[in-house]
Amino acid sequence: MNDKVHLDRAHLRHLLTAMLRIRRFEEKCFELYQGEKIRGFMHLYDGEEAVSVGVVETLRPEDAIVATYRDHGQALARGIGMNKLMAEMYGKLEGCCRGRGGSMHVFDAATRFYGGNAIVGGGLPLAVGTALGDKMLKRNSVTACFFGDGAVDEGSFHESMNLASLWKLPVLFVCENNLYSMGMAVERAEADTDIGHKGVAYHMPGEVVDGMDVVAVEAASHRLVAQVRESRVPCLLECRTYRFRAHSMFDAQLYRQRAELETWRQRDPILRLQAWLGETGMLHAEEIERIEAEVAAEIDAAIAFAEAGTLEDVKDLERFTIMDRVPQ
């Protein structure tokens, strides 16, 4: 494994594209939600794209991911096809979970994507388990476990951190600290708001990184994943980030000030990278327009795919409640 992230033009273009795919995909999802094409709970990742793009970039195909109900970013970064993801948002049979999971429960066996867990903190024990299984089966895989600052309030966070460290399991715990668990500000929920510091209690190495800087996230994740893989110990990465939109589609955002949002918007990970690429002459405006056009075309195709999708026959309602075999 390389011990450094190579910041060449192609790679930076790739990072920008990956973030733009998530941003534009979700902007379209917002519209589709207003148009009632997408229903249920939907949690947008707007502002946090650098976290999943930076971390997933450092994973290998054999690695596993456990994510939360705010999972579109991880799913797209991991390479779950946009068509399958959009079809899932539409509740169509062609979706990655046949339309059964929706926005909050993206699963994909091919990329070892184990949800999309909508119980805050519910995915952490699962990630400990996939890492335990991988270790016992002598695979050299890492499980990247994403969770928010709200999960840190839960007992399962502490149980999982302890178990992973005690048993030396290959987990990268990634805290997406966006400062609010729904409307609860982190300083109103945590006696010690320094989440990265909590790893110390479990003898777990870690880093705290600017989650609005994709290159910084990638570099930190790169170091920690290498440590997890080589030393077979878990690590904790706290990414300090912010969501620009409401918690879900039903949130009037009474708990935060407009000014705070505007301050964070200045640090938009996509605008920052674009500006830097422009200043350094690495990527010209025409190139960015080309990327935007590619992304727009991919989204249009995904919508067409989802629109053309079919609905699962209700006669299959009970199918897969009880499995007749373990899928290979």
Partner 1 sequence: MSQSAGGPQPRRITYREACKQGIRSAILADPRVFLMGEDVARYGGCYAVTKGLSEELGEDRIRDTPLSEAGYVGAGIGAAIAGMRPIVEIMTVNFSLLAADQIVNNAASISHMSGGQFAVPVVIRMATGAGRQLAAQHSHSLEGWYAHIPGLKVLAPATHEDARFMLQPALDDPNPVLIFEHVMLYNREDVLDQAVTGVDITSAKVMRPGSDVTLITYGGSLFKTLEAAETLHAEGIEAEVIDLRVLRPLDTPALLTSVARTHRAVIVDEGWRSGSLSAEIAARLAEAAFFDLDAPIRRICSAEVPIPYAAQMEQAALPQPAAIVAAARGLVPSR
Pick one of 64, 239, 299, 306: the residue that binds partner 1 (CB under 8 A). Answer: 64
Here's the x/- map for partner 1, 96-115, by CB under 8 A: it reads as: xxxxxx---x-xxx----xx
Q: Report if residue 315 touches partner 1, rule: CB under 8 A.
A: no
The closest of 110, 2, 105, 126 to 57, measured between CA atoms, is 2
Q: Report if residue 67 touches partner 1, rule: CB under 8 A.
A: no
Q: How far is the CB of 266 from partner 1 (least distance, A)?
A: 38
Q: How far is the CB of 157 from partner 1 (least distance, A)?
A: 10
Q: How far is the CB of 124 from partner 1 (least distance, A)?
A: 7
Q: Report if residue 305 touches partner 1, rule: CB under 8 A.
A: no
Pick one of 17, 162, 193, 248: the residue that binds partner 1 (CB under 8 A). Answer: 162
Burial class of 4 by CB neighbour count within 10 A (0 to 12, 13 to 18, 19+): exposed
Amino acid of residue 149? D
Degrees (nearest 5) of the Cα angle 209, 155, 64? 55
Nearer to partner 1, 126 or 174 (CB): 126
Q: How far is the CB of 60 from partner 1 (least distance, A)?
A: 15
Nearer to partner 1, 108 or 298 (CB): 108
Pick one of 58, 103, 156, 181: the residue that binds partner 1 (CB under 8 A). Answer: 156
Here's the x/- map for partner 1, 113-152, by CB under 8 A: it reads as: -xx-x-x--x-xxxxxxxxxxx-xx---------------
Q: Report if residue 326 touches partner 1, rule: CB under 8 A.
A: yes
The closest of 163, 113, 141 to 225, measured between CA atoms, is 141
If one counts every other C-beta atom within 10 angstroms of the C-beta of residue 258, the result is: 8
Nearer to partner 1, 161 or 217 (CB): 161
Here's the x/- map for partner 1, 166-185, by CB under 8 A: it reads as: x-------------------
Owner of token pair 């948002």 = 89
Q: How far is the CB of 35 from partner 1 (least distance, A)?
A: 25
Q: How far is the CB of 242 from partner 1 (least distance, A)?
A: 28
Return the structure tokens found at 212: 């609005």
Q: How far is the CB of 101 from partner 1 (least distance, A)?
A: 5
Question: In which order are the strands placed within the sheet that holds 235-240?
Answer: 107-108, 113-117, 64-68, 143-148, 171-177, 235-240, 206-210
Distance CA 219, CA 86 (A): 30
Here's the x/- map for partner 1, 264-303, by CB under 8 A: it reads as: ----------------------------------------
Degrees (nearest 5) of the Cα angle 54, 104, 48? 30
Measured CA to CA in angstroms, residue 273 lies from 18, 133, 201, 280, 304 at distances of 12, 38, 35, 11, 30
- 3-state SS, 11-71, equals HHHHHHHHHHHHHHHHHHHHHHHHCCCCCCCCCCCCCCHHHHHHHHCCCCCCCEEEEECCC
Residues that bind partner 1 (CB under 8 A): 64, 66, 95-101, 105, 107-109, 114-115, 117, 119, 122, 124-134, 136-137, 155-156, 159-160, 162-163, 166, 319-327
